[in-house]
Amino acid sequence: MMRAALNLIGEEATLVVWLTDLLMDYQAIIEEIHGEALALKGQGRVATYIPALAAVDPARFGIAIETIDGGIFAVGDAAEKFSIQSISKVFNLALGISLVGDELWHRVGMEPSGNAFNSLVQLEVENGLPRNPFINAGALVVTDVLLDHLKRPNEEMLNFVRKLRCSEIFYNEEVAASEKATGFTNTALVNFMKSYGNIHHEVDEVLDVYCHQCSIEMTCAGLCRSFLFLANGGVVPGSGERVLTSSQTKRINAIMLTCGFYDEAGQFAYRVGMPGKSGVGGGIVAVIPGELAIAVWSPELNDRGNSVIGMHALEQFTSRTGMSIF
């Protein structure tokens, strides 16, 4: 808000970020939102199609914020780990782009799909080229790209996220196995794309790496920290390490805005106004470039697969602070 009003650049902008944090009592704001949003409990349903996810307590609810200048704010279950599921598609894409750059776009598109995240329909019409990296088909192709370049993709993925200053990160082997054993649609997607030559590796190998990515467990606080590089032009705040160029970062943010929320990205942009990504574990993480990352976890989902309380809380955040990318 301050930033937009003063419209400053360079060093003065850093001062404005600092002033914004000073004037904006993020802790009070998220506590208020947390208290009020509890009233929405019971309006959604926990995802059950992956058996290991069905056991999650629907009452869990946490919110965290980390600003690029190091402010940390948290409320509720913000320090509890949950299955990040499709949020991992952002790490997958970032790692893929860091390995092959724009070449990646020869194998996956960058348009919203307008279809379910696991749809097979569009793939047939579009000759095995997935619409974008955040639907399952697209993430499976990006996973195949990782396999083209990495000897131990499962290990390298965790190392990549650790580079984002998130050291406490692991796979949940039970969730990975549960998804692999029941992921018949994902298996169909990989086979289908392989028939078009857009999968180079063994179907089982691609599914194994993909299911491990989805099984990553993180906290709201950890998600904020690991997404901060996307709010900071590709540089990890704190370590100063550049993970992506600013142009690559802009592209990932653009794709999060247009494709990050299943078939509800328009609704999310309209109501919330931040690029981000959700997962069927009930997590949502979003960024305001130049400012912060915010994550919410509440496992009850709407019929599109997005957390009901998560969307509401983020809408309240941008409404109350006047901050968004628009």
Min CB(283)–ligand GLU separation in Å? 9
* Closest to 62 measured CA to CA, from 219, 216, 260, 169: 219
Is residue 132 close enough to count as binding ligand GLU by CB under 6 A? no
- Say whether 113 sits in a helix, a strand or coil: coil
Q: Of these, 20, 143, 186, 198, which contacts ligand GLU (CB under 6 A)?
A: 186
In the shown chain, the binding pattern of residues 45 to 84 toward ligand GLU, with x for contact by CB under 6 A and - for none, equals ----------------------------------------
- Closer to ligand GLU by CB, 24 or 175: give it: 175
Q: How far is CA 302 from the centre of its chain?
A: 17
Region class of 61: left (phi > 0), else alpha (psi between -120 and 50), else beta: beta
- Closer to ligand GLU by CB, 23 or 55: give it: 55
In the shown chain, the binding pattern of residues 251 to 290 toward ligand GLU, with x for contact by CB under 6 A and - for none, equals ----------------------------xx----------
- Interface of this chain with ligand GLU, residues 83 to 122, rule: CB under 6 A: 85-86, 117-118
Quote the radius of gyration of the chain (alpha carbons, Å): 19
Min CB(120)–ligand GLU separation in Å? 13
- Closer to ligand GLU by CB, 17 or 280: give it: 280
- Closer to ligand GLU by CB, 75 or 135: give it: 135
- Closer to ligand GLU by CB, 75 or 84: give it: 84
146 and 210 in contact (C-beta within 8 Å)? no
Angle at 151 between CA 149 and CA 152, to 5 degrees: 120
- Return the bridge partners of 301, or none: 45, 307
Residues annotated as part of the active site: 86, 89, 210, 262, 280
Is residue 182 close enough to count as binding ligand GLU by CB under 6 A? no
- Return the bridge partners of 317, or none: none
Is residue 179 close enough to count as binding ligand GLU by CB under 6 A? yes
Count of residues that interact with ligand GLU, criterion CB under 6 A: 11
- Closer to ligand GLU by CB, 237 or 310: give it: 310
Q: Concatenate the DSSP letters of all residues of 215-258 into one string.
A: TEEE-HHHHHHHHHHHHTTTBPTTT--B-S-HHHHHHHHHHHHH
Q: CA 159 to CA 263: how far, in whole Å?
A: 31
Distances (CA, A) of 59 to 43, 54, 80, 314: 11, 13, 13, 18
63 and 221 in contact (C-beta within 8 Å)? no
Min CB(320)–ligand GLU separation in Å? 28
In the shown chain, the binding pattern of residues 209 to 248 toward ligand GLU, with x for contact by CB under 6 A and - for none, equals -----x----------------------------------
Give φ, ψ of 17 to 5 degrees.
-60, -45
Q: Of these, 20, 67, 119, 136, which contacts ligand GLU (CB under 6 A)?
A: 136
User: Which residues of the chain form contacts with ligand GLU (CB under 6 A)?
Assistant: 85-86, 117-118, 136, 179, 186, 214, 279-280, 305
